[in-house]
Amino acid sequence: MNAFQRCINPQCNATFDVSEVLHRCPKCGALLDVDYEWDKLPVPNSLAHFEKYWGDRANPHRFSGVWRFHELLPFAPLEQCVTVGEGQTVLQRNNGVAEYVGKSADSLFLQYEGLNPSGSFKDNGMAAGTTHGRLVGAKTAACASTGNTSASLAVYCGVTKLMKAVVFIGSGKIAYGKLSQALDYGARTVQIKGDFDDAMARVQEVSKKLGIYLLNSLNPFRLEGQKTIMFRVLEALRWDVPDWIVVPGGNLGNSSSFGKAFIELHKLGLIKKVPRLAVINAAGADSLYRLYNDEKLRWNGGNIDQSKIDAFYAQMDKENRRANTIASAIEINRPVNLTKCLRALDFCDGVVRKVTEQEILDAKAQVGAHGFGCEPASAASVAGTKQLVEEGIIGKDERVVCILTGYQLKDPNATVAYHGTDREFYEQVLGRRGVAETPYANSPVVVDNDIDRILDVLK
Ligand SMILES: *Cc1c(COP(=O)(O)O)cnc(C)c1O
Ligand SMILES: [Zn+2]
């Protein structure tokens, strides 16, 4: 194979075989990329090349929205690549949402990654991550998760039986839709009395001790699979690069993989233009926002000022600031892919914004009212777009793709609290989070069990 792992720190630049199971560079501790000797590989000379696979949908690897692009992530032989039918997702032009965010008609697109088998974009990465696990002969795979990664790992292990799934979750915060998936698909589920960061720390220790294959977002192979979200966006736009990609930021795996996708497509001469990238934090989980905008932390050619990061986290611990947002999928204190995300922001001339709980839920209601719906974290992309249009950073006519990362039914509590009439439930789920209004609520009408009253209501 002409694939290897490479340390992202240019001063180190150490390389390792794909068969090694590493999470960070053993030499300097930086994150690792999967990289390729492209000049020795059959790289397509145009993106339209991939259209020839459309007629071959009976072949599971061509049907897969990940492996259809195998030539752009060739770290394993195609016949070894794991698929459960991921990546059948939709790019929808949405004029209702365009109007909501103040954009002109036909300029806003929603990429519905919630339509994946486990209901979130994580399946793109899990297809690639479990492929690497299979390659190295893993018997058990583990992850720590705010919910969707565990649901995804559980599906891949449950369907393929290639390895056993162990998922670590924090207590109390996980949305029931996600927890129910891990349980239903038969994953060994370990609920830590702590938050996501605690679960993350413990799963790393446990994996090391027991030789379990770790499928966190630290895993560079997962990010290879997530590049294909961008390939499918381009495919749906008939290879015409949009002006902006807007994505919620949690552990920053998605934004990192998007950046890598564009770096590689550009290097391979497959795109000329690079879209701008907007990463949206929740105001209650805004480490990237603060580091990027307040501390001015930058990629800086790979010379990242680690002292700024250390000081920031030390201060966070001192003030006992903990991530807290209804958008549980992005409720992260210490984003593990921070440095890769900085590289993506650098290459894609990126911006970082944060949005309030109110903005997230209103945007979510608008997505639901005009489209297939999404979970709270996903709506941060739409709320962030609205902000950037108001600031004049995103032009009214510029073509924007908002990534809707997770499916509507992942977190029905947030939806029912917003639209419903139960004040107590509202207070418990949203009111205490400062969501004061529900301007887009579509509340059920309570009516006596009486045909005339019901007819009145429906007049
Ligand atoms: C994981 C997840 C995110 C955050 O993505 P990162 O790659 O961790 O930044 C956002 N939305 C949903 C629905 C997710 O599952
Ligand atoms: Zn290194």
C-alpha of residue 10 to centroid of ligand 2, in Å: 8
- Across the range 201-214, mean pLDDT stands at 90
Position 47 scores a pLDDT of 98
- Across the range 241-246, mean pLDDT stands at 98
Q: Where are the domains of the chain?
A: 91-118+243-413
From the CA of 404, which ligand is nearest? 1
Lowest mean per-residue pLDDT among 74-88, 203-217, 313-327: 203-217
Position 10 scores a pLDDT of 95
Q: Is the pLDDT of residue 374 over 70?
A: yes
From the CA of 13, which ligand is nearest? 2
C-alpha of residue 4 to centroid of ligand 2, in Å: 14
The closest of 2, 152, 139 to 66, measured between CA atoms, is 152
Task: Determine the Cα–Cα distance for residues 364 and 119; give it in Å rounded to an integer.
Answer: 16
Lowest mean per-residue pLDDT among 262-276, 283-297, 348-362, 420-434: 420-434
Q: Tokens in use for 441?
A: 């609520």
C-alpha of residue 217 to centroid of ligand 1, in Å: 10
Task: Determine the Cα–Cα distance for residues 413 and 184; give it in Å rounded to an integer.
Answer: 19
Q: Which DSSP state fits 292?
A: I
Query: Which ligand 1 atom is the nearest neighbour of the CA of 250?
Result: 9
Position 39 scores a pLDDT of 96
Write out pLDDT tens, residues 142-201: 998 878 999 999 999 999 999 999 999 877 667 888 889 999 999 999 988 887 778 888
User: In whole numbers, what is the pLDDT of the chain averaged over residues?
Assistant: 95
Position 1 scores a pLDDT of 65
Position 389 scores a pLDDT of 98
Stated pTM of the model:
0.97
Return the number of other C-beta atoms located less than 10 Å from residue 272's C-beta: 8
Position 359 scores a pLDDT of 98
Which residues have any ligand 1 atom within 6 Å of their CB? 120, 122, 148, 217, 248-254, 329-330, 375, 377-378, 405-406
Q: How far apart are the first and last CA of the chain?
A: 68
Write out pLDDT tens, residues 97-130: 999 999 999 999 999 999 999 999 999 999 999 9
- For residue 108, what is the enclosing H or E element? strand 108-112
Instruction: Give, for ligand 1, the residue of 230, 246, 251, 330 to mutate: max count of ligand atoms closer than 8 Å to Cβ.
Output: 330
358-382 b/e (C-beta count within 10 Å ≥ 16 → b): bbbbbbbbbbbebbbbbbbbbbbbb
Q: Please state the length of the chain.
A: 459
Lowest mean per-residue pLDDT among 49-58, 194-203, 342-351, 359-368: 194-203
Position 173 scores a pLDDT of 67
Position 37 scores a pLDDT of 97
314: phi then psi, degrees, rounded to nearest 5: -60, -45
Instruction: Give, for ligand 1, the residue of 149, 152, 251 to mutate: max count of ligand atoms closer than 8 Å to Cβ.
Output: 251
Position 194 scores a pLDDT of 84
- Across the range 321-346, mean pLDDT stands at 95
Position 145 scores a pLDDT of 83
Position 229 scores a pLDDT of 98
Q: What angle do CA 128, 227, 4 make, to 5 degrees?
A: 60
Q: Tokens in use for 129?
A: 């991550």
> What order of strands is seen across the sheet that includes strand 140-145?
188-191, 164-169, 140-145, 213-214
325: pLDDT confidence band, cut at 50, 70 and 90?
very high
The CATH code of the domain at 91-118+243-413 is 3.40.50.1100
- Across the range 358-365, mean pLDDT stands at 98
Write out pLDDT tens, residues 254-266: 999 999 999 999 9
